[in-house]
Amino acid sequence: MNVDIKDFNLSNVYISFYDRLEKFNNAYEILFTAENLNPDYLNEEEYFLSTEGGWYQTFATLVTKYGLVPSSYMPETHDSLSSNRLNILLQEKLKYDASIIIGLRKENKSIEELREIKEKMLAEVYEILCKVLGEPPGEFTLEYKDKDKK
């Protein structure tokens, strides 16, 4: 069945939201498990949080885990269109969290204790993303009209 829908777009913001959240999750895991932890890598100019766009496999993984939503349910915001400020804020958040994680590792905290801390840190990242990009919808009802208004 081929349906001709006018003006239907998927939300870029939705995928970007979860891409950033997953990048934080991965960064925390690296910080928890790296053998020779060197926090200087967080100061590299092209650190992964400032990278937008990405690999198809990353996109496919995000879609599989979180799905997609129409742009009407999570539209562009000023900060999604011009994300430099958000990226700087997130970079500083990661540096701050990394310093905490490094300190906890020096105290020989268990991986279980670190993961409890990670959940709190991820909740803070989620809150920042919600305030800047909007909260992703949990559920939505998709209704549309085709070009023949059916």
Percent of the chain predicted with pLDDT > 70: 83
Q: Is residue 138 in a domain?
A: no
Q: Is residue 147 in a domain?
A: no
Give the total number of structural domains in the chain: 1
Give the tens place of pLDDT for each residue, 31-73: 888 776 665 555 553 445 555 556 888 889 999 999 999 998 9
What pLDDT sits at residue 56?
84
Task: Specify the pTM.
Answer: 0.82
**Could you write out the DSSP letters of every residue in 79-144?**
HHHS-HHHHHHHHHHHHHHHHHHHHHHHTT--HHHHHHHHHHHHHHHHHHHHHHH-PPPS------
Q: Is residue 74 in a domain?
A: yes
Q: Is residue 124 in a domain?
A: yes
Q: What is the domain extent for residue 21?
A: 12-49+56-133
Q: Is residue 142 in a domain?
A: no
Provide the 3-class DSSP secondary structure of residue 2: coil
What pLDDT sits at residue 35?
73
Q: Is residue 21 in a domain?
A: yes
pLDDT band (50, 70, 90) for residue 102: confident
What pLDDT sits at residue 1?
46
Q: Is residue 65 in a domain?
A: yes
Q: Is residue 93 in a domain?
A: yes
Calculate mean pLDDT across residues 80-99.
90
